[in-house]
Chains A and B, each alone.
Chain A
Amino acid sequence: DGGITQSPKYLFRKEGQNVTLSCEQNLNHDAMYWYRQDPGQGLRLIYYSQIVNDFQKGDIAEGYSVSREKKESFPLTVTSAQKNPTAFYLCASSLPEGGRGYNEQFFGPGTRLTVL
């Protein structure tokens, strides 16, 4: 079945450690996104990528980094520079910009990161 997978579902890390969250999709979508969700809040865009080997900062990129070496993969690294990393992280993908379906983003199941 086509879809987006994120792993792991729950992640615990010590303060000061970098951690990488995985996101894989087999929908053949060109565009991929990372969002952060805090309790009782909406979604805030961290980074997005419209094509392989290219990505742009979202609204809250500080303390995060990404790579897009393959179309189906868009890993997110939460660095030690991120002051408050504990949150629920969501990955999404969509069709290329310009098409009607571009705005229809499809989400993975999320990774809950807790920094101790």
Chain B
Amino acid sequence: GQQLNQSPQSMFIQEGEDVSMNCTSSSIFNTWLWYKQDPGEGPVLLIALYKAGELTSNGRLTAQFGITRKDSFLNISASIPSDVGIYFCAGHPQGAQKLVFGQGTRLTINP
């Protein structure tokens, strides 16, 4: 089935650093979503993007819907310990009914 390539798979950073991760697809997507999952919990929706080129912020988080509609980026500025977790991208492929999820980026922060 349809797959999303999410990178990097894991990140080890110092508190206060900025973080960037991305998601790419070989086909066009109509929607991009970014979720965060804490250990043993369900994913929480962070940002939803619906238009190519759209740039949306949620506090220290900023996400963009790529112009080609085949990628999306998530940036976290000035990371803090509670940012630790797994970040998933998800997208709604053009012409498809179901959401497709990336494999996740595991973020670890050293205080």
Interface hits, B72-111 → A, CB 8 Å: 88, 90, 92, 97-99, 101-104
Q: A45 — which chain B residues lie within 8 A by C-beta?
A: 98-99
A-side interface mostly:
mixed
Q: Say which one of A64-72, A76-84, A97-105 lies at the interface with B.
A: A97-105
Q: A55 — which chain B residues lie within 8 A by C-beta?
A: none
Q: A103 — which chain B residues lie within 8 A by C-beta?
A: 30-31, 33, 48, 92, 99
Q: Does A63 contact B (CB under 8 A)?
A: no
**Interchain CB contact (< 8 A) of A42 among B88, B92, B98:** B88
Candidate in A42, A48, A107, A112 with the most chain B CB atoms within 10 angstroms: A42
Q: Does A90 contact B (CB under 8 A)?
A: yes
- Residues of chain A whose beta carbon lies under 8 Å from any beta carbon of chain B: 4, 6, 40-43, 45, 48, 58-59, 88, 90, 92, 97, 100, 103-110, 112
- Residues of chain B whose beta carbon lies under 8 Å from any beta carbon of chain A: 1, 30-31, 33, 35, 40-45, 48, 50, 88, 90, 92, 97-99, 101-104
In the A-B complex, the 5 residue pairs with the smallest Cβ-Cβ separation, listed nearest first, are: A107-B42, A42-B101, A103-B31, A43-B101, A42-B103
